[in-house]
Amino acid sequence: MAVTKQDVDYIAVLARLAFTDAEKEKLTDEMNSVLGYMEKLNSLDTTGIEPLSNMNDRTNVFRPDEIIPSISNSDALRNAPDKQDRFFKVPKVIEQK
């Protein structure tokens, strides 16, 4: 199951990343070598072994439903590239009609 340049294009779109053709080629190779390594794992017999969904052995870590004071509005917005009033400001996300 080799990764193609189309796969890289698709993943780049999903990740909202732009690459040059040269970068895409490099990424295609890199991904193939990562997946090739993963292929090795398929040679192991995993019959009867439950899939691992978490590295941690623990289960049921909960928090009581009690309010913890939030941070201030100015702290919340401190790292924002753009803001106005109390809001994060981002480029318009709906297409203009």
Nearer to another protein, 21 or 57 (CB): 57
Tokens representing 45? 């017999």
Asked if 54 touches another protein (CB under 8 A), the answer is: yes
- Dist CA 92 CA 97 (whole Å): 12
Residue 16 binding another protein, by CB under 8 A: yes
Task: Give the burial class of 8: count Cβ atoms within 10 A of its Cβ; 0-12 exposed, 13-18 middle, 19 or more buried.
Answer: buried
Residue 43 or 60 with smaller CB distance to another protein: 60
Output 22 or 68, the one with its CB closest to another protein: 68
Under 8 Å between Cβ of 28 and 20: no
Shortest separation between residue 12's beta carbon and another protein, angstroms: 13
Q: How far apart are CA 75 and CA 83, in angstroms?
A: 12
Binding site for another protein (CB under 8 A): 13-14, 16, 53-56, 58-68, 70-73, 76-77, 79, 82, 84-95
